């Protein structure tokens, strides 16, 4: 079988970078996608240094033309993508009465519209191959989180969208699943600590204390889960939301 080709969005750092690196170690050729190709250069260099295959792609996932052009470039440089991990995301946290239209639209645009656009662009290649894996990043915030009405709505929408894809695309050999991380130590969570007026270390200690496994999560925790969900062995797992959160979530 030819090498599988994966697209990982929001892959210049954090969870996306860890997922891209893990999939490359698993033997996939990886398109490392973020707003600019320059932002992805270090991740691509690290993958290549480890003997993997990767290219840097710049695209705004909330823009239809940019997504379609990015996928076309992946086809030209690596081959048709049959794996997509939608991780691109931004935060515009605020309480409802302070949240602006732009705060709402920007977050829904990247998280939900971006996931839709990328899945729509990739599914035609998956159908042609008769095989595919879609992994969409949700969050425990989908269950509700103060100051994140926009983010929570987007991540809850990702879960419903993913379950629908599993129903629609399953007959083509395509699975669709969501990963819902809890607290994962990234630049985004560091920004949350700053917004709350806390040091990162103080914030992380507080989160670990109320997490059953008594630690915070790492990007690699999410990458391990993504690795399983895109594997051949996960072919009978579809339409699921996997909470990578150090404990049970309702």
Question: What pLDDT score was predicted for residue 168?
Answer: 98
Contact 80, 50 (CB under 8 A): no
Contact 52, 25 (CB under 8 A): yes
Question: What pLDDT score was predicted for residue 200?
Answer: 87
| pLDDT tens column, 117-173 | 999 999 999 999 999 999 999 999 999 999 999 999 999 999 999 999 999 999 999
d(CA 2, CA 158): 30
Residues 216, 139, 212: CA angle, nearest 5 degrees: 35
Question: What pLDDT score was predicted for residue 153?
Answer: 98
Question: What pLDDT score was predicted for residue 63?
Answer: 98
Please indicate whether residue 151 is annotated as part of the active site.
yes
Catalytic option among 5, 11, 37, 151: 151
Q: How is residue 244 written in tokens?
A: 């990578």
What are the structural domains, with CATH classification, of the chain? Answer: 5-182+219-243 (3.40.50.720), 185-216 (no CATH)
Q: Write out the DSSP string of the chain.
A: -PPPEEEEES-SSHHHHHHHHHHHHTT-EEEEEES-TGGGHHHHHHHHHTT--EEEEE--TT-HHHHHHHHHHHHHHT----EEEE-------B-GGG--HHHHHHHHIIIIIHHHHHHHHHHHHHHHHT-EEEEEE--GGGG--TTBHHHHHHHHHHHHHHHHHHHHHGGGTEEEEEEEE-SB-SHHHHHHHHHTT--HHHHHHHHHHTSTTSS-B-HHHHHHHHHHHTSGGGTT--S-EEEESSS---
pTM of the model: 0.96
Question: What pLDDT score was predicted for residue 1?
Answer: 43
Question: What pLDDT score was predicted for residue 205?
Answer: 92
Question: What pLDDT score was predicted for residue 2?
Answer: 67
Which residues of the chain have a pLDDT value below 50? Answer: 1
């Amino acid at each position: 079988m030819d090498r599988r080709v994966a697209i990982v969005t929001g892959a210049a750092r954090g969870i996306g970078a860890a997922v891209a690196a893990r999939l490359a170690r698993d033997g996939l050729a990886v398109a490392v996608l973020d707003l600019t190709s320059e932002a992805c250069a270090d991740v691509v260099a690290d993958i290549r240094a480890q003997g993997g295959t990767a290219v840097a792609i710049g695209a705004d996932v909330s823009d239809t033309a940019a997504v379609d052009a990015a996928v076309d470039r992946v086809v030209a440089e690596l081959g048709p993508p049959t794996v997509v991990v939608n991780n691109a995301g931004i935060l515009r946290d605020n309480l409802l009465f302070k949240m602006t239209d732009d705060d709402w639209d920007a977050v829904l645009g990247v998280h939900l519209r971006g996931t839709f656009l990328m899945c729509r662009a990739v599914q035609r290649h998956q159908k042609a191959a008769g095989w595919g894996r879609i992994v969409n990043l949700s969050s425990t915030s989908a269950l509700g989180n103060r100051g994140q009405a926009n983010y929570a709505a987007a991540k809850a929408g990702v879960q419903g969208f993913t379950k629908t894809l599993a129903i629609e695309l399953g007959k083509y050999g395509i699975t669709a699943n969501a990963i819902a991380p809890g607290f994962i130590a990234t630049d985004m969570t560091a920004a949350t600590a700053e917004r709350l007026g806390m040091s990162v270390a103080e914030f992380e200690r507080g989160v670990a204390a109320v997490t059953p496994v008594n630690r915070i999560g790492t990007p690699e925790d999410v990458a391990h889960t993504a690795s399983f969900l895109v594997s051949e062995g996960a072919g009978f797992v579809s339409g699921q939301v996997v909470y990578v959160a150090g404990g049970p979530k309702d």
